[in-house]
């Protein structure tokens, strides 16, 4: 598959807000939040298809996205540098500031 | 569903009544085999592998990485092939492993908020607390508070990075090698590496008298 990465390391991305009726692996607490791509983890078969007997194709690119903890939780107690890193598939991400 | 797995036929007085979840697992396995998705042999091999692995396997890997910087670099870059070098071959059917290194500046801690994803192929089964709702919610909201309960108080200058293994990767934390352990052998080092410090909720513990003064 010659499909190229939509995002690169360092890109800002915003997680889509959605609650599909099928299986998905984007936690609710991170939906709508803006983070930065810190790693491109590779292509994997889509769990939203695999979860329902599908073949998981086409494969989806998986990104590791870092979010500032204090941008995720209003009352985060720790220092402002603390982060939460979540693995998110490309089709759940939108570009920011483009 | 095949008749032989019908839980209705289990007699309570035999003392072998299976729980709802055990019966469900059996039924799902029977269906998967029936549909040709996997074979009972494959299921047995995976179960045997997970049951044969334990945190002491992870500890050996960590101790080797502490003792051999070049191995550590390979372990961080390509865990699967680095593990093969030292006799841990992960089957292709297991999820990809990522190794994250704790440093003076960054401390990692792993959780799976959606279920209980864990590097089972290396560490065996996760502890019960790892699967609890309490850990899965508090690890992301208040990681420093969780670490405090495990006896680790991190300075504010250390950046805490919580990894939520939501998808296809499983994370192993490579803890910091404790100071004063320069003269320890790899086998002695491995004894300092607990399961909990490979999840990142705490650091390796050096008992009195072990570290060089």
Q: Is the pLDDT of residue A1 over 60?
A: no
- CB-nearest to A27 from B114, B163, B168 is B114
Q: A8-26: per-residue pLDDT in tens?
A: 999 999 999 999 999 999 9
Mean pLDDT (chain B, rounded): 90
User: Is residue A37 less than 8 Å (CB to CB) from chain B?
Assistant: no
Give start-end residues of each CATH 3.90.330.10 domain in chain B. 54-199
All structural domains of chain A with their residue ranges: 12-95
Mean pLDDT to the nearest integer, B54-75: 97
Q: Calculate the alpha carbon distances from B152 to A59, B92, B147, B162, B179 in Å.
A: 40, 36, 5, 15, 16
Q: How far apart are CA B176 and CA B188, in angstroms?
A: 15
Mean pLDDT to the nearest integer, B101-116: 96
Residue B77, phi then psi, degrees to nearest 5: -80, -40
What is the architecture, at CATH level 2, of domain B54-199? Alpha-Beta Complex (3.90)
Active-site residue B116, yes or no? yes
Mean pLDDT is highest, among A27-36, B8-17, B199-208, for A27-36
Chain A's closest residue to B106, CA to CA, is A82
User: Is residue B164 less than 8 Å (CB to CB) from chain A?
Assistant: yes
At B10 the pLDDT is 47
- Gyration radius from chain B CA atoms: 20
At A48 the pLDDT is 87
- CB-nearest to A29 from B140, B156, B160 is B140
At B213 the pLDDT is 52
Backbone CA torsion sign across A72, B99, B106, B115: positive
Higher-confidence position of B23 and B13: B23
Active-site residue B38, yes or no? no
Distance from CA of A1 to the nearest CA of B (A): 19
A15 contact residues in B (CB cutoff 8 A): none
Higher-confidence position of B36 and B5: B36
CATH code for the domain defined by A12-95: 2.30.30.50
Distance from CA of A42 to the nearest CA of B (A): 9
At A17 the pLDDT is 97
Residue A64, phi then psi, degrees to nearest 5: -95, 120
Q: Is the pLDDT of residue A51 over 60?
A: yes
């Amino acid at each position: 598959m010659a499909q190229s990465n939509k995002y690169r390391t360092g890109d800002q991305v915003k997680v889509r807000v959605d609650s599909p009726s099928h299986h998905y692996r984007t936690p609710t607490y991170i939906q709508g939040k803006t983070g930065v791509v810190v790693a491109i983890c590779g292509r994997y078969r889509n769990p939203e298809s695999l979860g329902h007997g599908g073949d998981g194709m086409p494969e989806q690119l998986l990104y590791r996205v870092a979010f500032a903890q204090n941008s995720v939780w209003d009352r985060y107690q720790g220092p402002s540098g603390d982060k939460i890193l979540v693995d998110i598939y490309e089709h759940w991400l939108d570009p920011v500031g483009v | 569903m095949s008749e032989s797995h019908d839980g209705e036929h289990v007699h309570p007085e035999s003392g072998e009544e299976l729980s709802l979840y055990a019966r469900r697992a059996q039924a799902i396995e029977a269906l998967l085999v029936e549909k040709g998705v996997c074979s009972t042999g494959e299921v047995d091999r995976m179960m045997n592998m997970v049951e044969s692995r334990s945190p002491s396997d992870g500890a050996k890997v960590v101790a080797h990485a502490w003792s051999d910087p070049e191995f550590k670099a390979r372990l961080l870059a390509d865990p699967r092939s680095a593990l093969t070098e030292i006799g841990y071959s992960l089957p292709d059917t297991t999820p990809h492993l990522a190794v994250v290194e704790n440093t003076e500046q960054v401390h990692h801690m792993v959780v799976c908020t959606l279920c209980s994803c864990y590097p089972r192929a290396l560490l065996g089964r996760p502890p019960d607390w790892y699967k609890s709702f309490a850990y899965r919610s508090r690890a992301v909201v208040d990681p420093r508070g969780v670490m405090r309960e495990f006896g680790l108080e991190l300075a504010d200058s250390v950046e805490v990075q919580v990894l939520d293994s939501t998808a296809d990767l499983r994370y192993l934390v490579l803890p910091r090698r404790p100071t004063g352990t320069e003269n320890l052998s790899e086998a002695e080092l491995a004894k300092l590496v607990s399961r909990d410090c490979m999840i990142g909720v705490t650091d390796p513990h050096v008992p009195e008298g072990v570290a060089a003064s």
